[in-house]
A and B are shown apart, each in its own frame.
Chain A
Amino acid sequence: GAVVSQHPSWVICKSGTSVKIECRSLDFQATTMFWYRQFPKQSLMLMATSNEGSKATYEQGVEKDKFLINHASLTLSTLTVTSAHPEDSSFYICSARVAAQETQYFGPGTRLLVL
Chain B
Amino acid sequence: AQSVTQLDSQVPVFEEAPVELRCNYSSSVSVYLFWYVQYPNQGLQLLLKYLSGSTLVKGINGFEAEFNKSQTSFHLRKPSVHISDTAEYFCAVSENYGQNFVFGPGTRLSVLP
Contact = CB atoms under 8 A, between A and B. Distances in A.
Interface of A: 4, 6, 32, 34, 42-44, 46, 49, 93, 95, 97, 100-109, 111
B26 interface: no
Contacts of B45: 106
Interface stretch (B12-20, B63-71, B74-82, B95-103): B95-103
B33 to A, nearest CB: 10
- Residue among A34, A102, A107 with the most chain B CB within 10 A? A102
A80 B36 CA distance: 26
Contacts, number: 51
A109 to B, nearest CB: 5
A29 B98 CA distance: 15
B43 A4 contact: yes
B43 A97 contact: no
A100 B51 CA distance: 13
B88 to A, nearest CB: 9
Contacts of A42: 105-106
Contacts of B83: none
Interface residues of B, number: 22
B44 A106 contact: yes
Chain B contact residues, majority secondary structure: strand
* A interface majority secondary structure: strand
Contacts of A104: 98, 101
A62 to B, nearest CB: 15
B34 A103 contact: yes
B12 to A, nearest CB: 16
A71 B30 CA distance: 30
Contacts of B56: none
4 closest A-B pairs (Cβ-Cβ)? A106-B44, A106-B43, A102-B98, A108-B43
A111 B46 CA distance: 21
B112 to A, nearest CB: 20
Given A93-B43, A108-B42, A43 B103 contact: yes
